[in-house]
Every structure is written in structure tokens, then in C-alpha cells.
Amino acid sequence: MPALPLEGRLIVVTRPLAQAEALAAGIRAQGGAAFLFPLLEISPWPDDTPLRDAAARLADYRFAVFVSPNAVRYALPRLLSAGAWPKTTRAVAVGEGTARELRTAGVEDCLYPRPQADSEALLCLPELSESSVRDNKAVIFRGDGGRELLAQTLTARGAQVDFVPVYQRKRSNKGWTEFHVRLIAGEFAALTLSSSEALRALMERCLPAQTAALRQLPVFAPHARIVEAARAAGFLRVIMTETGDAGLLAGLNAYNWQPS
């Protein structure tokens, strides 16, 4: 019987814990093992007043944009607490994973780009052209900080844009000792990354010897910005995959692994 693609390989999964299990399960199904090492922790935004206000006025918005699955998880229960999703408001997702989260929660009619999952691809959709958004209201549900491209472009196209923060990110302090020990021991076969912020958190907590070992690992990332950041950080083998867990898993499975 041929070996499974990831047999005997320990893959570092750096997603926040709530989003890590699906990828970890896929790695295990292909014979590998997953080292769960969430570099960022996600929690609700401490003040829910903006979200409550947006929920009360949701039908006033022509577009409701969710920038990530976390934005859906932390915003949608409050938005739906007063009743069904308004027929006059178009749900918009930055990518397929976010759209899937919306559909799972019962919001079926969702606009999102394919196959690319980012603000640039979303803004190329004809439904968000200047003629479509001009003089309309849009609300963006997001975490703390984040890119401003989407809001700036919609505003330039004539939309009135509101921000509603619904979650916050902070760097995790858990698991670093074990990670460093196993890294230096050469136990890891690869690293998966799903955000540039996670990459920065990783690099800032590694000493020179640890950084040298880290840069020897192949890195799998589902977006060009993360790939560019990883290469700038000195990683020698950076593989861009398709989006989402399925894309990361496909990239891991297709990689030309050297014999263990």
C-alpha cells in the first residue's frame, strides 16, 4: 500500500485555535500529525455598542461586508437577534470561507469573489462598481485594525461606509517553550501561515538559532501578501497555495517532500 502524502510529517498549524481543527484533521487524514500552535488569540470586541447600533439599522445598509469568518461568528448572532436578514441588504464576504460561514448561519445570498479571497478581488466584482455603490450605505464588520483598502475604495466610489469592530486579536503566549524545543530538535516538517500578523508574531519570539532553524522549513501560505512577507523574512522555501484549508492541504499533499 503506498504511503499517504504526509505520512510521518509533523506540520505546524498556526491558525487561531477555533479555526485550526479542520486543517489539523485534514493533515491527520493524509497520514501526518499537526502541531497546533495558535499565534493569535481571538476574542469579542469589548464594547458591543457599535454592533448593537448596526443591528438596529441593518436594513438601512445596501451592503454588509464581513472581512473574515471571525467577523461572521462575532457579528451575525447579534445581527439576527431581531429577526431574519433584511432582503434589502446584500451580505458580502471577502472570500469563500467567510461566505461558507454566512451560509452555515442561514444567510444564503452572499456576494464574494472566486477563486481569489481578498479586498482587491472583491472590489473587482461588478456589484461593487462605482455605479452600483454610489449613494448607498455600506457597513464593514471586522477586527481591530486591518487594511483600509476596502473602505477607502468604496468611499471613493461614492458609498457611505461605517466600520463596526466585532473582535480583537492578541498575540498568544502559550506553547512557546515546546515549540522552540521541537524546532531546534528538527521535529517539524513544515509551517502553515494564514496571516502576515501571525508571521510577525512568530519572528519576534525567536532567537537567532531558532530563526535559522525556522527559515529551513517549507512555508505554506494561501495569499500573495503572506508569501511576500515570508520571503522578506528570509524563508527559503515559500509555497503559495489556493485559499482556505482545502488549498493549504492540497499544497501540502502536492509538495515534493525530501525523504525523512
Q: Can you give the pLDDT at residue 3?
A: 79
Let me know: does 63 contact 89? Beta carbons within 8 Å. Answer: yes
Cα–Cα distance measured from residue 203 to residue 213, given in angstroms and rounded to the nearest whole number: 12
The 10 Å Cβ neighbour count of residue 32 is 22
Would you give the distance in Å from CA 81 to the centre of its chain?
26
Q: Can you give the pLDDT at residue 259?
A: 62
Sign of CA dihedral 17, 79, 116, 147: negative
Per-residue pLDDT of 85-100, as tens digits, reads 999 999 999 988 899 8
pLDDT, average across residues 7-12? 96
Cα–Cα distance measured from residue 79 to residue 52, given in angstroms and rounded to the nearest whole number: 8
Q: Can you give the pLDDT at residue 141?
A: 96
Q: Is the pLDDT of residue 2 over 60?
A: no
- At 176, list the grid cell: 512557546
User: What is the number of H-type helices and E-type strands within the chain?
Assistant: 12, 11
Let me know: does 236 contact 215? Beta carbons within 8 Å. Answer: yes
Give the whole-number percent of the chain exceeding pLDDT 70. 98
* pLDDT interval class at 115 (50, 70, 90): confident
pLDDT, average across residues 230-251? 93
Cα of first residue to Cα of last residue in the chain, in angstroms, is 18
Q: Is the pTM value of this prediction over 0.95? A: no
The topology (CATH level 3) of 10-39+172-254 is Rossmann fold (3.40.50)
CATH 1.10.760.10 for the 43-169 domain, yes or no: no
Residue from 48, 223, 233 nearest 141 by CA: 48
Q: Can you give the pLDDT at residue 241?
A: 93
- At 168, list the grid cell: 480583537
Domain spans, the chain = 10-39+172-254, 43-169
Q: Is the pLDDT of residue 72 over 90?
A: yes
The beta-carbon contacts of 75-79 under 8 Å, at least 24 apart in sequence, are 75/51, 75/141, 75/164, 75/166, 76/102, 76/105, 76/107, 78/48, 78/51, 78/52, 79/51, 79/54, 79/55
Mean of the per-residue pLDDT values of the chain:
92
Please determine whether the domains at 10-39+172-254 and 43-169 fall in the same fold group of CATH: yes
Q: Can you give the pLDDT at residue 82?
A: 75
